């Protein structure tokens, strides 16, 4: 993308007024709800509505922007995240955060999407880049930085995504690039103020990245970070997360999960342990407690047990962190 195109993109949307909503800055637990495929809409929404009635110990909802063609190489129709977000707002009175894959949009598309989000009272958006920075974007499409500038000019708080396995020091493991400079660029040059993470099933990678951040960022610049967790209820979940989503699951954890009599219970135990270790370590290295939260998501919109167990995990985190029901 040329510098002129980036400059033009930043001028494409003017500041707007919209209904005020609470931001994620004080949130501790976010529940991420996945838009279902259109052909599964009726069943998936019925499952989700039942869970929304039964569990309330979380602070906010978020909705991802899933690009099935780019992420999974398939052509399917999925309920759009704006439409799905409205459905959630009709049922739950909690702040809503929306994801947007920036690289799938040009400036006009981003403008239109932000305008719709504004009418919904959304204050927070998470802007997602491509699967590789080495790939050239289609002509006119937006990188995360210019997209965040557009959104901030429109009055939104912008978030990004942390992939701790990019940390350069562990290049012999999944890492191949250094994540810290990416975060610094997003924070200092593009005004990103909070992050969610790739799905976590161990704490070493994230601990090292938190230490890097604590050393390099002034406390006043330290962003809010929501550690993302998703419980597995069966081996298909585990296989999908590792193969399709690139989730790093250490071999000992994988053996424990596959050998468990109840994978859901074993998964919840592992994830709460990872949270306890990371939150304790963050405190020991001087990261303020209010800078860490959790983001809980589910992998299968059609599996009632998968959705329910994710809500149970969010409820457990809510109890641990003092979120009122």
By the 8 A CB rule, do 325 and 318 touch?
A: yes
CATH of the domain spanning 3-13+21-319:
3.20.20.220
Given this model, what pLDDT does residue 170 score?
47
Return the pLDDT at 73.
56
pLDDT in tens, the chain (325 residues): 444 444 444 333 333 333 334 578 899 999 999 999 999 999 999 999 999 999 999 999 999 999 876 554 567 899 999 999 999 999 999 999 999 999 888 999 999 999 999 999 999 999 998 655 555 666 778 989 999 999 999 999 999 999 887 654 544 444 435 788 889 999 999 999 999 999 999 999 899 999 999 999 998 999 999 999 999 999 999 999 999 888 999 999 999 999 999 999 999 999 999 999 999 999 999 999 999 999 999 999 999 999 999 999 999 999 999 999 8
pLDDT of residue 166: 63
pLDDT of residue 155: 95
235 contact partners, CB below 8 Å, separation of at least 6: 258, 263
pLDDT score for 57: 96
Domain borders along the chain are 3-13+21-319
CA gap 216, 205 in Å, rounded = 17
């Amino acid at each position: 993308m040329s510098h002129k195109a980036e400059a033009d993109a930043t001028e494409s949307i003017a500041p707007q007024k919209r209904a005020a909503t609470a931001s994620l800055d004080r949130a501790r637990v976010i529940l991420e709800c996945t838009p279902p495929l259109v052909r599964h809409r009726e069943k998936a929404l019925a499952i989700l509505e039942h869970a929304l009635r039964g569990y309330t110990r979380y602070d906010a909802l978020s909705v991802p922007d899933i690009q099935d063609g780019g992420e999974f190489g398939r052509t399917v129709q999925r309920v759009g995240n704006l439409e799905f977000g409205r459905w959630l707002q009709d049922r739950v009175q909690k702040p809503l955060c929306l994801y947007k894959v920036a690289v799938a949009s040009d400036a006009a598309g981003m403008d239109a999407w932000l305008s719709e989000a504004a009418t919904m009272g959304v204050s927070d958006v998470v802007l997602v880049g491509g699967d590789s920075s080495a790939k050239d974007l289609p002509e006119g499409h937006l990188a995360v930085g210019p997209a965040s500038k557009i959104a901030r000019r429109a009055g939104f708080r912008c978030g990004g995504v942390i992939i701790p396995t990019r940390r350069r020091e562990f290049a012999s493991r999944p890492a191949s690039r250094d994540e810290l400079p990416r975060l610094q660029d997003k924070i200092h040059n593009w005004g990103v103020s909070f992050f969610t993470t790739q799905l976590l099933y161990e704490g070493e990678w994230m601990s090292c990245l938190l230490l890097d951040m604590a050393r390099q960022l002034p406390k006043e610049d330290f962003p809010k970070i929501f550690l993302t967790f998703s419980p597995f209820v069966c081996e298909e979940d585990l296989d999908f997360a590792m193969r399709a989503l690139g989730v790093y699951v250490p071999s000992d954890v994988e053996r424990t999960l596959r050998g468990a009599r109840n994978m859901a219970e074993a998964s919840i135990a592992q994830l709460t342990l990872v949270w306890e270790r990371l939150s304790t370590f963050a405190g020991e290295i001087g990261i303020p407690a209010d800078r860490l939260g959790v983001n809980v998501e589910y992998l299968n919109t059609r599996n009632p047990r998968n959705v329910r167990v994710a809500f149970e995990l969010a409820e457990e985190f809510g109890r641990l962190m003092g979120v009122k029901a």
